[in-house]
Amino acid sequence: MARSELSAPVIHRTKEPIDVLVIGAGMGGAVASMVLAQAGLKVVCLEQGGWTAPEDRPHFSADWEWQRLNNWSTAVNVRKRSDDYPVDTLDESTLMWSGVGGSTVVYTGTWPRFRPSDFRKGAEHGCQPDWPFTYEDLESWYEANDRNCGVSGILGDPAIPPRGPFQTKPLPLGSARAAIRGFEKLGWHWWPMPNAIISEDYDGRPACNHCGGCQSGCARGSLNDVAVTHWPKAIAAGAELRTHARVARIETGPDGRATGAVYRNRTTGEWEFQAARHVVLAANGVGTPRLLLASESSAHPNGLANSSGLVGKNLMHHGLAVLEAWVDEPLETHKGFLSAQLICEEFAETDISRGFINGFTLHIVRMNGAGYQAHGSHSGNVGPWGSGHHAWFRQHFDRGFAILCMGDDLPLEENRVTLSETVVDSDGLPAPRIDYHLHPNDERMMDFAVDRAVELAGAAGAFEIKVNRWSPPGRGYVPPAWHLMGTCRLGTLPDNSVVDEWGRSWDVPNLTLIDASVLPTGGAVNPTSTIGALSLRNATHLRDQLSRRDS
């Protein structure tokens, strides 16, 4: 919906501004709302989706595997929920979830940290920017965020800096024993993956029961979903969470400061305006640039907070390739948690003798249920149908494991989020358009990673190996990964970044971005742990700034 079209409906406007308006109820929005409300600030959060009750999930249905592929697909253009907005793209299947908890509703809680080198890529090779601070500066926030979320693991990993204690003991490795055999034969690093899935009761939540439905979230609350871990605390502290509230634009006043946001109450159908002294935008690496671009005005003709022209650019997903391998022994790969069991950081640092800069990690994950295994759990290569199916199934079921190759993709300005000229959401607002491809450096990296994964599978004794390649050839690997980072990067100067190190807009002094959009680099691991730590750091800084202002 264009701004001229928004002027037609009657917009009900609040008279008195609240202290902080938060847009988005995922990891960043939940952390910010909890921290700010616990400080006594008046906080309202607008979330375009609703709550997900345990009984809403497919765990209790006989066709849960079918539902996971369809109604509970991680891709918005597949599941097509009314709370979601579509994505205009031919390049990917975008993982997002509109609702309380954001993408923590449908992720697997894989919880590694970025490495120290991920914060200084500018000094290392100059093809990515340095962060304005170091891993060591963020370390205490990693620890605090882990305590809020609950993380299982074991100390002593030699590939990363020493860290504080885990909240629970590690989850059982189970079907990873074949991969461990391969790692040991090759002499490569491996370690149990830290997971935001508790193996023991913690903070009022029950331990994981290993039901295996993690990809559709956790109906028990054993996996860190911020709807379970953060929002109850935020609401108890006084934060108001308005669900089914789709924000159309952030408004600014003559002084250039944000005044609040126009949103549609999707329950009543009315358009409303919530005034605020400070606005926190936490709508993820796609939703945040979408909203900033949609908030264009005569004072901000290229979109809000976009004097640098970088809003929406430098989208990073991680390069991803997935390999499936089968060995001649039962592994019980249909049982247990679905997050990664092991991580290998043997190739995580740059070694230019390999023919590329940056690095990748290998993640060992189990297969899924019987239906998924017959359908090609991760590789997309299905078993034969017809007379040969039963023989294939007896040979493959329960005997496979998967290797995810996750690469640190370079930020490219042509990898970007813009506003679609043809696709709108259910309220008539322009959908985001995504354009994404891997840099040739990253293609070489993923080819090298796949070769190493094949080598590992061979060392584990695999009798069959399949890789998820695009069809037709020449398009790389599928999907790429699902992470949404870098589209409103933080930095030290307003001409090469969108926000400063605290997430504050260079252009709009009372607008703060707290989500994955601000990450200047993506590392070679899942980003949620880092998103949470950075959100906690910057929300605490904002709390202190607002408290000093009001004192």
Q: Where are the beta strands (DSSP E) in 80-218?
A: 191-192
Average pLDDT over residues 364-369: 89
Distance CA 455, CA 514 (A): 40
Distance CA 175, CA 336 (A): 9
Residue labelled with tokens 């539902």: 67
Higher-confidence residue: 259 or 376? 259
Whether residue 362 is predicted with pLDDT greater than 70 in this model: the reply is yes
What pLDDT score was predicted for residue 471?
47
User: Using one digit for the tens of pLDDT, what is the confidence trace for 213-233?
Assistant: 888 889 999 999 999 999 999
Distance CA 72, CA 74 (A): 6
Residue labelled with tokens 């490795």: 173
What pLDDT score was predicted for residue 6?
53
User: Using one digit for the tens of pLDDT, what is the confidence trace for 232-251?
Assistant: 999 999 999 999 999 999 99
Apex CA 521: angle with CA 79 and CA 101, to 5°? 35
User: Using one digit for the tens of pLDDT, what is the confidence trace for 272-285?
Assistant: 999 999 999 999 99
Whether residue 301 is predicted with pLDDT greater than 90 in this model: the reply is yes
Cβ atoms of 281 and 23 within 8 Å: the answer is yes
Distance CA 317, CA 94 (A): 10
All structural domains of the chain, each given as residue ranges with its CATH number in brackets, are 3-550 (3.50.50.60)
Distance CA 497, CA 308 (A): 7
Cβ atoms of 513 and 488 within 8 Å: the answer is yes
Average pLDDT over residues 82-102: 88
pLDDT category at 442 given cuts 50, 70, 90 is very high
Note every long-range contact of 144-148, with CB atoms under 8 Å and residues 24 or more positions apart, other chains counting.
144/533, 144/536, 145/31, 145/529, 145/532, 145/533, 145/535, 145/536, 146/111, 146/529, 148/31, 148/229, 148/230, 148/532, 148/536
Higher-confidence residue: 327 or 173? 327
What pLDDT score was predicted for residue 474?
47
Whether residue 472 is predicted with pLDDT greater than 50 in this model: the reply is no
Q: Write down the pTM of the prediction.
A: 0.95
User: Using one digit for the tens of pLDDT, what is the confidence trace for 198-216?
Assistant: 999 999 999 999 988 888 8
Cβ atoms of 184 and 199 within 8 Å: the answer is no
Average pLDDT over residues 248-274: 96
Window from 37-41, 166-170, 185-189, 378-382 with minimum mean pLDDT:
378-382
User: Using one digit for the tens of pLDDT, what is the confidence trace for 6-47?
Assistant: 555 788 887 799 999 999 999 999 999 999 999 999 999 999
Q: Which among 437, 423, 509, 504 is positioned nearest to 477, based on CA atoms? A: 437
Q: Is 43 helix (H, G, I), strand (E, B) or coil?
A: strand
Average pLDDT over residues 461-479: 72
Average pLDDT over residues 46-74: 89
b/e per residue 325-334 (b: at least 16 CB within 10 A) = bbbeeebebb
Higher-confidence residue: 92 or 452? 452
Q: Using N-to-C axis directions, what is the helix angle for 528-550 and 135-149, rounded to 10°?
A: 100
pLDDT category at 476 given cuts 50, 70, 90 is low
What pLDDT score was predicted for residue 470?
55
pLDDT category at 371 given cuts 50, 70, 90 is confident
Q: Provide the mean pLDDT of the chain.
A: 93
What pLDDT score was predicted for residue 450?
95
Average pLDDT over residues 121-132: 97
pLDDT category at 1 given cuts 50, 70, 90 is very low
What pLDDT score was predicted for residue 96?
84
